[in-house]
Structure formats: structure tokens, C-alpha cells
Amino acid sequence: MIGRQDGADDLSQETFLRAYRAYQALPSDANVRAWLFSIATNLAKNHYRAETRRRRAYAELRTAESQIAGSAEAEAAAREAGRVIETIVGRLPLKQRAAFTQRKIHGLEYEEIGQSLGCSAESARAHVFQALKKVRQALGSHGLLPGEFTS
């Protein structure tokens, strides 16, 4: 019934072992052959259920492992992208770097950026614009941005 010789041998042994243990409780008028087949059939059904559960568990494990590997790869890629961005921003001229950081990371308004840099709000806006343009170009050259964002 199960198709594999080693599994069939194991189930045959288990069938006769269970039959031996339960033989005393068998009524004297019972059909022993049918009783043995019912034990074997029930063991085969249990075997298939266990195999199905085992296959599902292994499939879930493989899926989880691939997700973990995928998330680990994504995390490593994100860390690498973060290092590239830090390097790019670190190479900007001082006023552009300060304006970019204050605007994009800290969310300051252009007036506040201008006050901190000692320039007008329009100059602060220009510093942020130039910094953003350089960052986009550098990210594009590293392949971290689609071409439409690098121009």
C-alpha cells in the first residue's frame, strides 16, 4: 500500500506486533484475516498522514529559511546602501552636506536651515537642491537608483 519496501517491512512488523498484543481481546468468532488487514490499513493511513505532515513541515521550514535568507540578504544590501549613502553625503561640500542633513534627516524648514548656516532661506533651498542632485547622481552611478531619478 505504501510503495516502499523498507516502509512496508516496518508497517508489516508493526501490524503483527499490534495484532500479537491485542489478540487476547479478539472475540473467538472474529475474522482474523480481516482484523489483520484493518490493522495494516489503519497503520498505512497513519503513515500517510505522518508523511503529509512531515512534507508540510519541511516545506514550511524551507520557505522560512528562504525568507530568512532573503531578509538577511535584503538587510545586508540595505546596510551596504546605507554605507554608500553616508560616503556620498560625507563627500558633499560642507554647506550642502549641512543643508541636506538638516532638511532630509532632521526635517527642518528652509528658514531654519538658513539661520543655522547664516544664509537666506533661498540659499538654503539651493544648497539642499544641489546636494540632492549630487546624491542622486552618485546613487545612480552605484546602481542604487533607477535612471529616471539620476538626471
Q: What is the pLDDT of residues 122-137, one digit of tens each?
A: 999 999 999 999 998 8
pLDDT at position 150 is: 47
Residue of 74, 92, 79, 84 lying closest to 131 (CA atoms): 92
Q: How far is CA 132 from CA 36, 103, 129, in A?
A: 80, 10, 5
Within the chain, strands assigned E span none
The per-residue pLDDT for range 4-56, each reduced to its tens digit, is 788 888 999 999 999 999 999 999 999 988 898 899 989 988 888 888 888 88
104 pLDDT exceeds 80? yes
Residue with cell 503513515: 47
Residue 101: count of CB within 10 angstroms of its CB: 16
143 pLDDT exceeds 80? no
Residue with cell 528562504: 66
Spatial separation of the C-alpha atoms in residues 87 and 140, rounded to whole Å: 14
In this structure, what DSSP letter does residue 1 have?
A: -
Spatial separation of the C-alpha atoms in residues 65 and 73, rounded to whole Å: 12
pLDDT at position 1 is: 66
Domains identified in the chain and CATH numbers: 1-77 (1.10.1740.10), 91-151 (1.10.10)
pLDDT at position 66 is: 74
**What percent of the chain has a predicted confidence (pLDDT) above 70?**
91
Q: At what angle do helices 121-141 and 110-117 cross, to 10 degrees?
A: 100
